């Protein structure tokens, strides 16, 4: 009797990280001999230190984090009970196969092993994780605007009527509140022009310090702070991008894994079909020799053997190709692709179970909170808000107050001793842009960009809701289809056995037996295809909900978080 695809006790270990690519699986057709072929053609081919994300806008970010983590309690309980087991925690560097060794020392490749290999070694995920280092470097570079700067100078007029020598050394720094502080020392010796006597100092030189404070423009935000805040937001924005890559890679790995299982199941169907013809051939030879059967029936059976051997070759090719595809995701401890051996096959598809026992609205709420696409767009919009505030800042008049203190030391160089007293200078500088075209142009462009992102955010949210509904429908239909096809396959096997018994009694012909065997084989292959569709639909459903391991994006190298609140400026337009 034909093997109809064995169900084992091994459970599905669905990844909470998968990416919805309905175009690659939604239009799958499953004829008897093409269960795997349609899936093999279009499968896409695919660490730096991880640093802590900057804390920005504490009130806003805390609210965002709370909204991301909170969900309907009943929905969460139902979803957690529906998804049998979570994938392994990334970072546990276990060698592939250690957890799946059988008692005889052989290895079984299960879905959990493939997912773990993708987490740890898949190049596209590692490339995405490298963006953390890029964003951290950009943030560090933006902080450079607030570095202490050492400035020095030496001007010497060695020849001429007025011979003098001037040296100076200063340390200055732009501040986080938009101003500048500086302090230093200078000394001027020699004979100076009467109109340049301020360059002269007492014999011990002059110590000077001061501060410049913005009173309007650059008070709440300036170019340096805007660049830093954008970099910090970019450092947050890479996390949803990494999660999206994990989701996409995990889904591709799941499809490749179930493709491998389906190819092995179909090879078993074809192999069993060939065994029937081979076993029947020996009996036909004896019956032809005794005259109970015509020789043409033996020839016809030999034709069936050759035809089924050809189909077995094709089934083996598909199995080998699916193994090669799976090796893209199944990797050894050193990250090299690992082509699975046939002996590593876990035994077939697990049993299908109905996972949808909650409303579509609950699923949509969970998906909107979990999916990384909306979070990435939200952070992009916050970056544009920084640009908008900086543009509005440029509309303000540039009014800067300055306070400078200086003290000469040492022997006085003038009989007036006019440089020996402590000096304190207060100043104000005003620069007003009249037309303000630069600022107004930036405001107009930035507001249009914000409108673009807002529209994309709305479309993305609508798309997520659509994908949840789509994958729920596909999963429910796939589950029901498996039940119907299994019933059909059981009936086909009963008809096959009855026809074989009638043939043995001489009440049927080889043609009828061949038809029944082929019908049973087609039903078995269709059952394999239905189970494949079910597990792909399950992977897509999990992907549409945006399930992911929260530890995937946890940073290992923690550094002090800098809390900076981005102010809201009045609209100057």
What is the chain's pLDDT, residue by residue, as a tens digit (573 residues)?
333 333 333 333 333 333 333 333 333 333 333 333 333 333 333 333 333 333 333 333 333 333 333 333 333 333 333 333 333 333 333 344 444 444 444 578 889 999 999 999 999 999 999 999 999 999 999 999 999 999 999 989 888 888 888 899 999 999 998 899 999 999 988 888 888 888 888 888 899 999 999 999 999 999 999 999 999 999 999 999 999 999 999 999 999 999 999 999 999 999 998 998 898 888 888 888 888 778 888 898 889 899 999 999 999 999 999 999 999 999 998 989 999 988 888 888 888 887 777 788 999 999 999 999 999 999 999 999 999 999 999 999 999 999 999 988 988 887 777 787 888 999 999 998 888 899 999 999 999 999 999 999 999 999 999 999 999 999 999 999 999 998 988 998 888 888 888 887 878 787 888 888 888 888 899 999 999 999 999 999 999 999 854 333 334 333 333 444 555 554 544
Residue 3 located in a structural domain: no
- Claim to verify: residue 462 and residue 547 sit in the same structural domain: yes
208, part of any domain: yes
For residue 153, give the nearest of 191, 124, 131, 184 by alpha carbon: 184
Residue 559 lies in a domain: no
CATH of the domain at 461: 1.20.1600.10
Here the tokens at position 90 are 């990334």
Same domain, 308 and 377: yes
Alpha carbons 8 and 346: distance in angstroms, whole number: 8
- Could you give the 3-state DSSP secondary structure of residue 499? helix
Could you tell me if 273 and 360 lie in one domain? yes
Long-range contacts of 326-330 (CB under 8 A, 24+ apart): 326/109, 326/114, 326/256, 326/257, 326/259, 326/260, 328/43, 328/45, 328/46, 328/256, 329/114, 329/117, 329/118, 329/122, 329/249, 329/252, 329/253, 329/256, 329/257, 330/96, 330/109, 330/113, 330/114, 330/117
- Is there a single domain that holds both residue 368 and residue 515? yes
CA-wise closest residue to 533 among 142, 226, 261: 261
Q: Are residues 276 and 190 part of one domain?
A: no
Residues 517, 518, 523, 528: is their CA dihedral positive or negative? positive
Residue 525 in domain: yes
How is 51-70 classified by DSSP, letter by letter?
A: BPPPPBSHHHHHHHHHHHH-
380 plus 243 within the same structural domain = yes
| DSSP strand pairing (180-190 vs 398-408) | unpaired
Q: Give the CA distances from residue 45 to residues 24, 33, 40, 112, 129, in Å, rounded to whole numbers and listed in that order.
A: 13, 25, 11, 20, 18
The answer to whether residue 6 is domain-embedded is no
The answer to whether the Cα torsion of 247, 252, 253, 259 is positive or negative is: positive
Say whether both 521 and 379 belong to one domain.
Answer: yes
CA dihedral 543, 545, 547, 550 (to 10 degrees): 130
* Closest of 208, 145, 140, 204 to residue 173, by C-alpha: 145
Residue in this structure with the two tokens 């004896």, named with its chain if needed: 286
pTM to 2 decimal places: 0.72
297, 284 in Cβ contact below 8 A?
yes
Residue 16 is assigned to a structural domain of this protein: no
The residues facing 171 across adjacent strands are 150, 183
Is the same domain home to 320 and 247? yes
How does strand 180-190 pair with strand 423-431? unpaired
Our CA dihedral for 86, 92, 93, 94, rounded to 10 degrees, sits at: -60
Same-domain pairing of 377 and 453: yes
Maximum Cα interatomic distance, the chain, rounded to a whole number of Å: 144
What pLDDT sits at residue 46? 33
Q: Is residue 8 part of a domain?
A: no
Total domain count for the chain?
2
Tell me how far apart the alpha carbons of residues 120 and 123 are, in angstroms, rounded to a whole number. 9
- Whether residues 399 and 508 share a domain: the answer is no
Residue 562 lies in a domain: no
| All residues at 6 or more sequence positions from 335 whose CB lies less than 8 Å from its CB, including other chains | 120, 121, 123
Determine the Cα–Cα distance for residues 210 and 406; give it in Å rounded to an integer.
Answer: 8
Q: Answer yes or no: do 425 and 517 share one domain.
A: no
d(CA 565, CA 201): 44
* 268 shares a domain with 181: no
Quick one: pLDDT at residue 404? 93
What is residue 380's predicted lDDT score, i.e. its pLDDT? 95
- Which range of residues forms the domain containing residue 405? 148-223+395-433
Report the length, in residues, of the chain.
Answer: 573
Distance CA 47, CA 123 (A): 9
């Amino acid at each position: 009797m034909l093997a109809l695809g064995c169900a084992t006790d091994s459970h599905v270990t669905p990844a909470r990280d998968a990416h919805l690519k309905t175009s690659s699986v939604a239009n799958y057709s499953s004829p008897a001999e093409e269960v795997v072929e349609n899936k093999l053609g279009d499968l896409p081919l695919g660490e730096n230190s991880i640093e802590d994300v900057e804390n920005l806008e504490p009130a806003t970010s805390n609210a965002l984090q709370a909204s991301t983590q909170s969900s309907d309690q009943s929905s969460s309980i139902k979803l957690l009970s529906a998804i049998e087991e979570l994938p392994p925690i990334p970072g546990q560097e276990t060698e592939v196969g250690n957890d799946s060794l059988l008692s005889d020392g052989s290895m079984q490749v299960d879905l959990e092993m493939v997912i773990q290999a993708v987490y740890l070694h898949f190049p596209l995920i590692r490339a995405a994780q490298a963006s953390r280092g890029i964003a951290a470097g950009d943030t560090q570079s933006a902080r450079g605007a607030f570095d202490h700067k050492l400035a020095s100078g030496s001007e010497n007029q060695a020849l001429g009527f007025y011979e003098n020598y001037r040296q100076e050394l200063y340390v200055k720094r732009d501040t986080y509140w938009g101003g500048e502080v500086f302090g230093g020392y200078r000394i001027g010796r020699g004979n100076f022009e009467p109109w340049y006597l301020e360059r002269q100092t007492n014999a011990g030189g002059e110590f000077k310090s001061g501060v410049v404070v913005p009173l309007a423009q650059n008070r709440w935000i300036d170019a340096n702070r805007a660049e830093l805040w954008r970099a910090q937001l970019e450092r947050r924005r890479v996390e949803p991008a990494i999660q999206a890559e994990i989701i996409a890679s995990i889904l591709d790995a799941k499809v490749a894994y179930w493709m491998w299982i389906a190819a092995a199941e179909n090879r078993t169907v074809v192999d069993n079909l060939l065994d029937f013809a081979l076993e029947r051939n020996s009996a036909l030879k004896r019956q032809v020799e005794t005259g109970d059967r015509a020789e043409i029936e033996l020839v016809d059976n030999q034709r069936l053997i050759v035809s089924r051997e050809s189909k077995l070759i094709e089934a083996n090719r598909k199995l080998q190709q699916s193994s090669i595809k799976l090796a893209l995701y199944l990797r050894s401890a050193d990250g090299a692709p690992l082509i699975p051996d046939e002996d590593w096959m876990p035994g077939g598809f697990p049993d299908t179970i109905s996972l949808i026992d909650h409303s579509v609205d609950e699923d949509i709420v969970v998906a909107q909170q979990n999916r990384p696409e909306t979070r990435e767009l939200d952070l992009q919009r916050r970056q544009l808000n920084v640009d908008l505030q900086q543009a509005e800042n440029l509309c303000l008049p540039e009014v800067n107050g300055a306070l400078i203190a200086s003290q000469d030391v040492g022997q006085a160089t003038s009989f007036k001793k006019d440089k020996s007293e402590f000096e304190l200078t207060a100043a104000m500088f005003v620069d007003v842009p009249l037309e303000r075209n630069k600022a107004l142009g930036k405001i107009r462009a930035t507001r249009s960009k914000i409108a673009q992102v807002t529209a994309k955010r709305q479309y993305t949210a609508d798309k997520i809701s659509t994908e949840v509904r789509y994958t729920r429908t596909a999963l429910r239909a796939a589950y029901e289809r498996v039940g119907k096809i299994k019933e059909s396959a059981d009936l086909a096997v009963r008809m096959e056995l009855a026809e074989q018994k009638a043939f043995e009694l001489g009440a049927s012909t080889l043609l009828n037996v061949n038809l029944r065997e082929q019908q049973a084989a087609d039903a078995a292959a269709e059952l394999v295809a239905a189970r494949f569709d079910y597990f792909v639909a399950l992977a897509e459903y999990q992907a549409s909900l945006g399930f992911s391991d929260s530890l995937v994006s946890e940073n290992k190298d923690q550094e002090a978080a800098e809390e900076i609140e981005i102010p809201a400026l009045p609209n100057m337009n």
